[in-house]
């Protein structure tokens, strides 16, 4: 049987970028498998034509297998996989315990890898397919108070770029999405900033820096802006690997390439101070209509 309509499987669709991406692809006429841990969190998706909402927890291999099979049963194939599920662990490294750090990597890195492991054989058998991994600007521009989250997204960057060479002989292409700040639940339920070790040495700087980040959030890109970039990547037949989202990501990634290392680090350090945010930050993070 030939299936002409393209199909995308997206993880983490309960809110934010995942939810917006599922809706955007559906509006463009694609079949959408909008997966999430609890489909009841986004009931509106299940009412849309050509959309299914299988339960998928990236830390549960059985749920990954079941969601993949549900997608194939419904649509016959998968053309694009968008690994979007993840969350942010915030705070100074010494305030985060081993369990928190393992959970961060289990979700953002190892869970993403397990979804790839499940879908890539399907792509190889078909001799085509596109893998899109949602990393972050901080995978290449690390920010203070995000040391472990930075590391998880840096791992996604390295893993994904390595796959380019492994998968090319099988006709499978790979893309990376690098959002800057996006106005989502990233700073709310999609984050963990608990001081699990009780270390108080970083209390003042954490309050200051995370306060600036909380102020930045509402002025970040809209989820639909990220969805449009993911759509662009899904329909770009070129060998381009990385796609950034937002003025901040464009500016800071360019600065990382062009500026001397010491100057760049100084710029990052000062840009997250309250004084700097009141000038430069409000230019980069203007409220969106």
Which residues are identified as catalytic? 149
Residue written as token pair 């760049």:
264
Query: Among 145, 164, 142, 167, which residue's Cα sits nearest to residue 153?
Result: 142
b/e burial code for range 206-240 (CB count within 10 A of at least 16 → b): beebbebbebbbebbbbbbbbbbbbbebbeeeeee
First CA to last CA distance, the chain: 45
Can you tell me the distance from the alpha carbon of 213 to that of 97, in angstroms, rounded to the nearest whole number? Answer: 22
* DSSP run (H or E) holding 148: helix 147-167
∠ Cα 223 254 15 (to 5°): 15
Neighbours of 106 (CB within 10 A): 15
Q: How many CB atoms lie within 10 A of CB 202?
A: 17
């Amino acid at each position: 049987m030939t299936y002409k309509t393209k199909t995308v499987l997206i993880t983490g669709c309960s809110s934010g970028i995942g939810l917006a991406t599922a809706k955007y692809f559906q509006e463009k006429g694609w079949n959408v498998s909008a997966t999430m841990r609890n489909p009841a969190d986004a009931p509106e998706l299940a009412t849309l034509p050509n959309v299914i909402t299988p339960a998928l927890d990236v830390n549960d291999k059985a749920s990954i297998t079941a969601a993949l099979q549900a997608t194939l049963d419904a649509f016959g194939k998968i053309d694009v996989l968008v690994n979007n599920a993840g969350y942010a662990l915030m705070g100074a490294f010494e305030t985060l315990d081993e369990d928190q750090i393992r959970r961060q990597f289990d979700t953002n890195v190892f869970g993403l890898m397990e979804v790839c492991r499940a879908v890539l054989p399907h792509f190889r058998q078909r001799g085509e397919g596109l893998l899109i991994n949602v990393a972050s600007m901080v995978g290449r521009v690390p920010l203070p108070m995000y040391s472990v989250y930075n590391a998880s997204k840096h791992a996604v960057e390295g893993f994904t770029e390595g796959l380019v060479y492994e998968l090319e002989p099988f006709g499978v292409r790979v893309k990376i999405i690098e959002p800057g700040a996006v106005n989502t639940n990233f700073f709310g339920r999609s984050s963990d900033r608990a001081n699990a070790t009780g270390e108080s040495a970083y209390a003042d700087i954490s309050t200051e820096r995370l306060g600036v980040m909380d102020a930045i959030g509402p002025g970040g890109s809209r989820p639909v802006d990220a969805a449009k970039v993911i759509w662009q990547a899904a329909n770009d037949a070129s060998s381009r690997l990385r796609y950034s989202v937002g003025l901040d990501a464009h500016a800071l990634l360019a600065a990382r390439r062009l500026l001397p290392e010491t100057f760049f680090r100084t710029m990052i350090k000062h840009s997250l101070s309250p004084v700097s945010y009141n000038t430069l930050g409000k230019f980069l993070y203007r409220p969106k209509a």
